[in-house]
Each structure stands twice: as C-alpha cells, then as structure tokens.
Amino acid sequence: MPVLTDSPCTAHASGSLLTILTALLVFQGAAAASSDLSACTLVPDFEDAITLADSGHGWTYSFDFPAVVPGLEFIWDRVYSDMEERRAGNADRACAEFPEGPLQPWQLLTIDGRMRLLPSPDGMVTAMSEYHEYLGGAHGADHTIVYRYALSGGPGSQSWVEIDSRELLADSAELVRLAGIVCDTLEARLGPEPDRKWIHRGTGPYWENYSMLYPVPDSSGALAGFTVRFGEYAVGPYCIGQQEVFVPLDLLRP
C-alpha cells in the first residue's frame, strides 16, 4: 500500500493528505513487480473524479484523478505512486533547504497536475500524467509521463502488460521512417526560429527520443496511427513548449 513519506518538517502537513487518502483513495494490496499487471488486484474505494491536495512549509501539491475504470485499477495505483514520489521529494527538499519563517514566492516548490486516459485502439490502453512543476528559477516546467498497456493472451484475456515504443513499431526501419515524418512536420510547423539542429537532434531515429510515443485509434477502434510528444527543450527552446506530432498509419506504412 502506498504510504506517505514522513519527516520532521512534513509529518504535521501530511495529515490532511493522509485523511483524504484514507477516505477516498485506499489501495488494497501493492503493485507487484510483474509483467502480468492483472495479477495486481487493487481496489480504490472511490468512484468519482477527485483532487488530491496537500501542502507544507515551502511546498504545495495538487493532482487530479479521473474516476477509476474497473479492471484498470493498477494504472491509478501506478500514477499515484509515481506522483507521490515527486510530492514527497519536494516536501523533503523544502524541509532540508528552507528556513522557518516567511518565504519568498520563488522559494515555493509546487506540483500541479492531472491524470487522464487517452482513446486507445482495441486491446490497448494509454494513460497520461501531466503536471507543472516549479523548483525555483525564472519559470517552472511541464512534464509528461505516458503509460501504455496491451492485453496479452488469447480472446477474452484480461491480462495487461506494459509496453514501450519498441513494441508499438514494427522494427528499427519503421522508427527511421517515423522520425523522418516527425522531423519534416516540426520543421514546417516551427519555421526558421528554432535551431534546426535542435529539431534534428530531438527527432533523430533513436528509441530514447520516442519514449512518449502512443497509439491512436480510428472511429472503429482500429489503429489509426501514432502520436509522439516531445518534452520542453527536446526539439527547441523553452518558448515552444511541449510538441506533439500525429503520424497516420497509412503514411507510415503506405
């Protein structure tokens, strides 16, 4: 069961989040380190969308969860665990670095985000965690985590396994074709302002550049193509933000 991280500075502030979690988000069991995700039977005790919020000296946290989809509880547990790790890290950092007493606005560590399920082809499910984080400096940063799963086994199987970009595309040659389409699209979209070398580097045919690739369905539930998201600074300066490119399947596999 996910637990809150206690420290001398966070123990008094974690009570409010613990109360919310006890009442609204109690996970029964823990996610096992197994490729068969359906074996992780986790039953949250809420049915509606909720916002988990907490704060302490020098930090704030707010994250929106949609209503749980029966059979996919393991995704909610995964996202909660990942975000709780970031919340606790900020709380511990604030405890270690910030003196008692009033703080300047730029000293406040913040996380504000949401989880959502994306439309997915039949037999697949994609979730996305998106959050804005401020850790000091001139501005914060937007982050995205993509979670992709596919059914394994025969017809009627409810055994979900996590997949990555390598399992979405046919092979490395298809990655090269995808990368070329994405590069051309971003060059046309962003124009002459961003450094072209930045785009070429960020969209090059390397699996690490396509960690946020996910499948997109058509109206019948079949695979229509793939969307890839690039984080801030991946394909250009901060001012262009995160970028997304959709590549239709008939263009990738003519």
DSSP for 171-238 reads -HHHHHHHHHHHHHHHHHHHTTSS-HHHHHHHHSS-GGGGTTEEEEE-TTSSEEEEEEEE-TTSSS-G
Diameter of the chain by CA atoms? 63
pLDDT tens-place string over residues 38-54? 444 343 455 789 999 99
CB 214 within 8 A of CB 118: yes
Residues of the chain with CATH 3.90.640: 168-252
> Tell me: the pLDDT tens digits for 198-250?
999 999 999 999 999 999 999 999 999 999 999 999 999 999 999 999 999 99
Amino acid at 177: R
Per-residue pLDDT tens over the stretch 13-33: 443 443 344 334 433 333 333
Cα–Cα distances in angstroms (integers) from residue 2 to residues 80, 84, 150, 195, in the given order: 8, 8, 25, 43
Residue 160 has pLDDT above 60, yes or no: yes
Overall fold of domain 14-162: Heat Shock Protein 90 (3.30.565)
- pLDDT tens digits for range 42-88: 434 557 899 999 999 989 999 999 999 999 999 999 999 999 999 99
Q: Please report the pLDDT score of residue 45 as a whole number.
A: 54
Query: CATH 3.30.565: which residues of the chain?
Result: 14-162
Q: Is the pTM of this model over 0.95?
A: no
For the domain covering 168-252, report its CATH number. Answer: 3.90.640
Output 157 or 22, whichever has higher pLDDT. 157
Q: What is the pLDDT of residue 155?
A: 64
